[in-house]
């Protein structure tokens, strides 16, 4: 069981402001002291660049940096740490795969299959590749509750499908897609699968070998870690085939004015000086998560979602959008724009997201321009949900 009182004490922002009700975890999470300490101690006590020097500071930094890569490998159960690429985040990882796929795997007439509820980061890169190569972006529909229509999804798969890109959990609706089944179906027609794990990585255990996905990506800052760093997992056979995404130092084998040869993965995809301190912080965040236990976190957030659903659903004038399965609730209030909801809630110390959540096609599906979204993390409690309800009632009293 998650001991939220003890957990909240590890987050400086919640210690400094105990009344803060932070419910925007799907966008980014607050940072525990251990993550802050990891970054600060690296900068203040043993700072050095990586993979470039023979002096002690550089060697120490390199060892710690590479240790985090192996830590991530174990965290998601990849076969090898050579399958772990450090990126700027989920968006960067998707763009890396999309760019490479356009060069080596896609041809005119091929198809890329996504779902209707994808984040823009898992739509736009594929659109651009389709425009460049001459292939087609195919969209699998969802049902009225926001859940993927698996019958229609399977119908969309065919011998032209080269790639399937799917969000593990919808950031706008909190609906989890059956990614293991999706992967099995896609592999049956010879398609590769990329899973956007930005919304799942901090909320449930991920085993990329059990899923058998070809690619899996996530961002550190949604995992209680720092911004500016994330991870792309790719099966070694596919990373070996992909060309570099960017060019510069540390991703080469040899360079002459006539020809350059490139390092093997993952270094091939990590041009330039990497976000070293952020990688250290991400390692601390993984330690933090594992210290609590992902199964305990999943149970805590499941109970919290059920409580929130029961509390908010009867609220007059409140419409829940979709039927969430994880710790995200999107809703509208009759006659009140979500931006007004978010602004007024903020005046009461309640932080929620208001807008289209970088998922405009999802909003269009439900005939709304925007929603208010409350999303839960490990430090949230039923008291936060009660505060949200009081805040909603206050918004309605002010605006109606």
60 with 280: CB under 8 angstroms?
no
CB 198 within 8 A of CB 182: no
Could you give the C-alpha distances from 348 to 245, 351, 390, 394, 398, in angstroms and in order?
45, 9, 10, 9, 13
How many angstroms separate the CA atoms of 236 and 139, rounded?
28
In whole angstroms, what is the distance from residue 217 CA to residue 196 CA? 5
Burial (CB count within 10 angstroms: exposed 0-12, middle 13-18, buried 19+), residue 368: middle
Tell me the three state secondary structure of residue 286: helix
Active site residue 358: yes
Task: Point out the catalytic residue in the list 34, 58, 315, 358.
Answer: 358
In whole angstroms, what is the distance from residue 331 CA to residue 170 CA? Answer: 14
Secondary element (H or E) of residue 392: helix 382-399
**Nearest of 93, 279, 92 to residue 83 by alpha carbon:** 93
Cα–Cα dist 60/62, whole Å: 5
- Please give the angle made by the CA atoms of 51, 53 and 56, to the nearest 5 degrees: 105
3-state secondary structure (DSSP) of residue 123: coil
Residues with catalytic roles: 358
């Amino acid at each position: 069981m998650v001991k939220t009182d003890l957990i909240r004490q590890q987050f400086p922002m919640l210690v400094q402001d105990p009344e803060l009700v932070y419910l925007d975890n799907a966008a980014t999470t607050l940072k525990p002291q251990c993550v802050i300490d990891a970054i600060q101690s690296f900068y203040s006590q043993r700072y050095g660049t990586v993979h470039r020097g023979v002096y002690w500071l550089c060697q120490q930094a390199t060892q710690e940096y590479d240790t985090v890569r192996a830590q991530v490998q174990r965290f998601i159960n990849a076969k090898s740490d050579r399958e772990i690429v450090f990126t700027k985040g989920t968006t960067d990882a998707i763009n890396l795969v999309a760019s490479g796929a356009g060069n080596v795997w896609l041809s005119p007439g091929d198809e890329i299959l996504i779902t209707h509820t994808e984040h823009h980061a898992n739509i736009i890169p594929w659109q651009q590749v389709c425009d460049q190569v001459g292939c087609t972006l195919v969209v699998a529909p969802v049902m009225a509750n926001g859940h993927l229509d698996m019958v229609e999804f399977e119908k969309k798969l065919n011998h032209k499908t080269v790639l399937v890109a799917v969000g593990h959990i919808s950031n706008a609706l909190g609906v989890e897609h059956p990614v293991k089944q999706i992967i099995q179906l896609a592999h049956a027609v010879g398609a590769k699968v990329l899973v956007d794990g930005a919304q799942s990585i901090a909320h449930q255990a991920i085993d990329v070998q059990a899923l058998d996905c070809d690619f899996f990506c996530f961002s550190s800052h949604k995992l209680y870690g720092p911004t500016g760093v994330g991870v792309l997992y790719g099966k070694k056979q596919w990373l070996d085939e992909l060309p570099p995404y960017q060019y510069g130092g540390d991703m080469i084998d040899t360079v002459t004015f006539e020809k350059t040869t490139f390092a093997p993965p993952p270094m091939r995809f990590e041009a330039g000086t990497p976000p070293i301190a952020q990688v250290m912080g991400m390692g601390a965040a993984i330690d933090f998560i594992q210290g609590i236990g992902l199964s305990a976190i999943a149970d805590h957030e499941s109970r919290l979602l059920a409580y929130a659903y029961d509390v908010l659903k009867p609220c007059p004038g409140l419409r829940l959008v979709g039927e969430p399965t994880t710790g995200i609730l999107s809703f509208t209030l009759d006659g009140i724009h979500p931006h007004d909801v978010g602004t007024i809630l903020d005046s009461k110390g309640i932080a929620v997201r208001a807008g289209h959540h970088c998922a405009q096609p999802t909003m269009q599906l439900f005939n709304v321009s925007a929603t208010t979204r409350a999303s839960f993390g490990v430090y949230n409690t039923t008291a936060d949900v009660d505060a949200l309800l009081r805040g909603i009632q206050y918004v309605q009293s002010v605006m109606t």
